Amino acid sequence: MKTSSARKKRVVVKIGTSILSTSQGVFSSSAHARLCEQVLNLMKTHEMVIVSSGAIALGMQVTGRKKRPTVMAELQACAAVGQGKLMNAYERFFSKKDRHVAQILLTRDAVEDKQRFLNARATLKTLISEKIIPIVNENDTVATEEIAFGDNDILSVHVAHLVHADLLINLSNVNGFLLKSGERLREVRGLQSINKELRSHLGSKSGETTVGGMAAKLNAASVAMKLGIPLQIVDGNRPHVIMNAVMGKDEGTLFRP
């Protein structure tokens, strides 16, 4: 571990749109509350950061769109509408429990420029020290192709790096990485396993229905391993899955650095 026993272990949880939505693509308040409850309980013993998707989906709901827009301006408009509603959902839940949240919107240039990187790190660490939960998302309203992360899988890795996380939990809609046989891979060690073995299984049962899917998660795992961050892909629909992953129980697939 990167840290001494003097401080609580720090966990970043990445929550995707599919985990926050019903099968009809509507924001699920019950799913959201279930995940937030786990984060709240873990805050007794851990420092928690959330990377949350869902702004564009909420914006689509408000504007009556049935399909995700392909035009950048329309995507950004949906993000602008939905981001406030996403933050409101988090603040409503946690404020009832005497906790508060802070919105952090990032683009890629924030982690590629040294001074911006240090500024973002200082802000996040200050929020954590004051027991305020950072809710991080990509700044979709201004992001262009040149400065976009592309997906929140890779964004969550950079956030974990910013805060010196001890574990990054990526909530998927499948129970970890599944081989073509359907067997769940419990643990991965070494980048060679990802590049030469696991990618051949993409497009099988390991895939997902959302944008990015398992290919994006493998890319994120590769970066996390290089940065020394353990990344665990788990099924966000399973009961107590965040707590189980933090406690080291057999959930999903753990990529060890």
- Give just the sign of the alpha carbon dihedral 107, 208, 174, 201: negative
DSSP 3-state assignment of 178? strand
Q: How far apart are CA 178 and CA 255, in angstroms?
A: 13
Q: How far apart are CA 193 and CA 218, in angstroms?
A: 11
> Which of 149, 136, 160 is CA-nearest to residue 108?
149
What count of Cα atoms within 13 Å lies in the side-chain half-sphere of residue 200?
5
pTM: 0.87
Q: What is the pLDDT of residue 47?
A: 97
Q: What is the pLDDT of residue 34?
A: 96
User: Please, what are the averages of pLDDT over each run of 10 residues along the chain (257 residues)?
Assistant: 61 93 83 96 97 88 86 86 93 96 90 91 96 89 51 92 97 88 87 70 50 79 94 95 95 94
Q: Which residues contact 89 (CB under 8 A, 6 or more apart)?
A: 27, 29, 32
Q: What is the pLDDT of residue 140?
A: 60
Q: How far apart are CA 113 and CA 130, in angstroms?
A: 26
Q: What is the pLDDT of residue 61?
A: 86
Class of domain 9-256: alpha beta
Q: What is the pLDDT of residue 136?
A: 96
Q: What is the pLDDT of residue 207?
A: 40
Q: What is the pLDDT of residue 23?
A: 77
> Which of 157, 161, 165, 208 is CA-nearest to residue 51?
157
- What are the structural domain ranges in the chain? 9-256
